[in-house]
Structure 1
């Protein structure tokens, strides 16, 4: 059984309102779920994705207003990519970001794809990557917004970069446990460091890749706002979830055991460099409790939290997003 690709990436924010403005108004992504952190219901959890909330398109944020900044380093998920259709789209986005006063790097190649990097207002490291008709895991469905053509819209997650001091332990888990395969390397853009390693799963392509950067010169990351909490990988259904639960349990990696998030089943574990991985099912999906047309418009709670709605809403800070 194979993991299908990337499911979502979860990041920390200290300012949910500005976060919403950036990811919906600037980047044109859809807010597909406004809910709470199920492990701390006094904190919001916002999910952004494509028009249908498809697995493999989602960037999520935990809102923690008092959080300090991230201090970058190793044992980290150091960048998250977002897919667009073409190199022409990259030129559109460079101009759009510049119009918003957001600096970006030059268009350059990573793993033989045209890309460019930039940061959001909290220092989250983002990379736009052009599909240019490449085969592999299918992209999502563009979310139409007035000032962004669907030809240029963000259509899913692209490669996620892990930065580690020693790649060997992480590679071992990716290949021997998770079934990833090495497909290429490309030169480090940070200077005289080892080539970045490219591993893929499932049908491959930008929606199924992990890139591993080796940086023995860096300290360990101190995670804060703008930092990535974890990366999740796609399991197609609950039957295969059982298989992966037994497989991870058999490795003796520190793990969460089975976790029911209602919108998907989850399993969390830390690979040897300390990076948090999650395996998540595609089913049942984010439309299990809301119609597709009105995703993200109301505070959604899973059934096991619904009886506590009044208590939860009373403890949540007001969130002014529209």
Structure 2
């Protein structure tokens, strides 16, 4: 392949109550809601994007929150854990922080890294990784999480599959990543030079039951590509290699293509551009419902169909609420 990903772009998961989701990811995890829009395929529900101050690719976690969604089943063919990068000596602070919120964290270790595992209100597994590699990305300095402890962005995603051979082939041959570590049933691949935001861990579990995508599970993971011209070239190469790839879809803040790898995980390739400030100022990201032009004629109906939500002051600290 002539195209290579530079790392993770975002992870998208399914949630239940949107307000509960907002409270956890803003006040609990200390991220910023950088866009409040709707699921373009189902405008009756939100699509919420969280990330750093401006929603840079590699900092993003996004959700489709469906009220009353049934609980999913975590298993093979899914991304089963999403990890964020935090400073090396911060896990003690995070443990106390979550305990104060009534969330029971678990200290673990894997791939030579100390981790703090928590579950969000829908049961989704989130890990904070205190990597020995310095993460140079600037954090969102929120009221609930000071900058010295704050999330720097995505660290890695775990993919659980029955047979890892096809998954690893796609990651290395089709996405241009490299195998950097093998430890029993876990294989780590990295984009570029590696580091936080560039890792994917493939876990082989032939006994795992197939996952069921619903509440508390990841819908897809997305990899970065710089622009649409590169994306178009990449799509053509993937099709020539036998993958069933969607057409290029306009997501307003990036464009996307999707395909499913042999292990069953849905992959997206998303552009770094144009970004989240194309339809509202940086200072006001996430404050109001934003719709693409083709949904604007239905704004009144959409606003009545989605649940009312409230943002904490810290999401837009310099803006009068």
The bucket for the TM-score relative to the shorter chain is over 0.9
Say if 2:305 is the partner of 1:308. no
Say if 2:142 is the partner of 1:167. no
1:94-133 CA-to-partner distances (Å, cap 9, x unmatched) read 111122222222242x222222222112110111012344
Q: 1:157 aligns with which of 132, 154, 159?
A: 154
Q: Is contact 1:37–1:44 with CA below 8 Å preserved after alignment?
A: yes
TM-score, length-scaled by structure 1: 0.92
SS in 2 for 1:206: coil
Q: Residue 281 of structure 2 corresponds to which residue in structure 1?
A: 291
SS in 1 for 2:106: coil
SS in 2 for 1:184: strand
Q: Residue 198 of structure 2 corresponds to which residue in structure 1?
A: 208
SS in 1 for 2:267: strand
How do 1:96-175 residues align onto structure 2 when only pairs under 5 Å count? 96-108=97-109, 110-134=110-134, 139=137, 141-175=138-172
Unaligned runs of 5+ in 1: 187-193
Deviation at 1:11, TM superposition (A): 0.5
Q: Residue 3 of structure 1 corresponds to which residue in structure 2?
A: 5
Deviation at 1:233, TM superposition (A): 0.4
1:265-312 CA-to-partner distances (Å, cap 9, x unmatched) read 100100012110000000000111111110000001122322332232
1:152-197 CA-to-partner distances (Å, cap 9, x unmatched) read 01110111000011101111111111111100023xxxxxxx4310
Q: Distance in 1 between matches of 2:141 and 2:169?
A: 41
Unaligned runs of 5+ in 2: 313-321
1:200-220 CA-to-partner distances (Å, cap 9, x unmatched) read 112311211110111112110
Q: Distance in 2 between matches of 1:126 and 1:278?
A: 20
Q: Residue 318 of structure 2 corresponds to which residue in structure 1?
A: none
TM-score, length-scaled by structure 2: 0.92
1:9-59 CA-to-partner distances (Å, cap 9, x unmatched) read 000001111010001011111000000000110110100100111111010
Which runs of at least 4 in structure 1 moved beyond 6 Å after TM superposition?
A: none
How do 1:1-322 residues align onto structure 2 when only pairs under 5 Å count? 1-86=3-88, 88-108=89-109, 110-134=110-134, 139=137, 141-186=138-183, 194-322=184-312
Q: CA 1:316 to 1:147, structure 2 compared with 1: closer, same or farther past 3 Å?
A: closer
Q: Residue 319 of structure 2 corresponds to which residue in structure 1?
A: none
Q: Distance in 2 between matches of 1:315 and 1:151?
A: 40
What is the total number of aligned residue pairs between the two structures?
310
SS in 2 for 1:162: strand
Which 10-residue stretch deviates more, 261-270 or 94-103?
94-103
Q: Distance in 2 between matches of 1:116 and 1:212?
A: 19
